[in-house]
Amino acid sequence: MHLWFRWFFWFTVFWVLLLILASHRVLQTLMVPSPGLETSSPSEYRSHTVNFSWQAPVLASLFNEKPLAEYFQNISDLWRREQEQSFVGVIVFAKQQRLLCSIPKAGCTAARAFALRETLGVVLDPLDADEIHLIHPQGRANLTQLLHLQDEELLRVLSDPSWKFGALVRHPLTRLLSAYLDKVKAGRELERYPLKNRYPHSFERFVDYLEEAAKTMTPDLTPFDEHWRPQSGFCLFRMLPRTFFDCIGKVDEPESLRKFYVDMFGQAGLEWHESMRKRAQASGRNTLHSQSAASLLHKHVNERLAQRVRKLYAEDYERFGYDLWPPYYRKASATL
């Protein structure tokens, strides 16, 4: 009797253990994401050039090596809120399978005019003084944007290798000066935060106002008006690793901008870029706006002020690999 009991006991233990092992394998199989939605190691989701402490909660779920689908579910409110704060968010080119993020004061007018032409057949000239003002409202009203997608659609698009995700950025110093010259200097748009209808009589005073406001907010500076909000606050830069972006073009570096349009849109992108470049040069301008911030840097910015801007926008300088001064400005200074 005793021998039979021992045999029955170990027989039961064996099958219980076997059942537990089998159940574990089944659960592992069920948790594996579908093809194209691979689980990535935590290091792949960290920025290659910058790691700011306030971004840690955003990426926390990925550090536990959770499936990408679960990560997007966790950040749904975050990326939607970011896109809602943009007048025109990331643009969807459904036919071409492209996502284009255009940031205010970083070549956005030409980019949105290109998007209107390619996706809707709407032709508006960013070099025409009358038509340029129609581009942004037309883009906001008619272009398909990332905000229009469901979480599942965004996940599918970002996981599909046939889609490309690109963004245009600009040197933080010339972008900020351009925003001041275009939106503030004439005193016509002083309601933009954090000006509060105060008129900064110089670019340095404008920087004073921004620094003053920055002391009262979180380091991401999200409450800033989008024309001087950090570029890192667009395009899901704070939520996606660099590996998700196929192309990041620098609008103030001619070869980088040309390469961006070619890599993203092929022949159509090349023809658009060359057409805009030649027409701008023919009119004696190196920018689509009436004010060229690059040519006016020496009038508005000294070394000390440049350092202050760099400190204020440290995230952008580090994320996009910019030096204190734009490359062309350093070259011009060296020849003086």
pLDDT per residue as tens digits for the range 160-216 = 999 999 999 999 999 999 999 999 998 889 999 999 999 999 999 999 999 999 999
In this model, does residue 59 exceed pLDDT 80? no
Q: Please list, residue by residue across 27-40, b when 16 or more beta carbons sit within 10 angstroms of its beta carbon and e when fewer do.
A: eeeeeeeeeebeee
Q: For residue 12, is it within any domain?
A: no
Q: For residue 10, is it within any domain?
A: no
pLDDT band at 158 (very low <50, low <70, confident <90, very high): confident
Give me the pLDDT at residue 10, please.
65
Q: For residue 318, is it within any domain?
A: yes
Q: For residue 99, is it within any domain?
A: yes
Over residues 4-33, the mean pLDDT reads 50
In this model, does residue 37 exceed pLDDT 50? no
Q: For residue 125, is it within any domain?
A: yes
> How many domains would you assign to the chain?
1
Least reliable range by pLDDT among 26-30, 94-98, 329-333: 26-30
Which range of residues forms the domain containing residue 272?
A: 42-331
- Cβ contacts of 67-71, under 8 Å, gap ≥ 24: 67/31, 67/33, 67/37, 67/39, 68/33, 68/37, 68/38, 68/39, 68/40, 68/155, 68/159, 69/33, 69/37, 69/155
Q: For residue 18, is it within any domain?
A: no
Mean pLDDT of the chain: 82
Q: For residue 17, is it within any domain?
A: no
Give me the pLDDT at residue 38, please.
31
Model-level pTM? 0.80
Least reliable range by pLDDT among 18-22, 99-103, 116-120, 226-230: 18-22
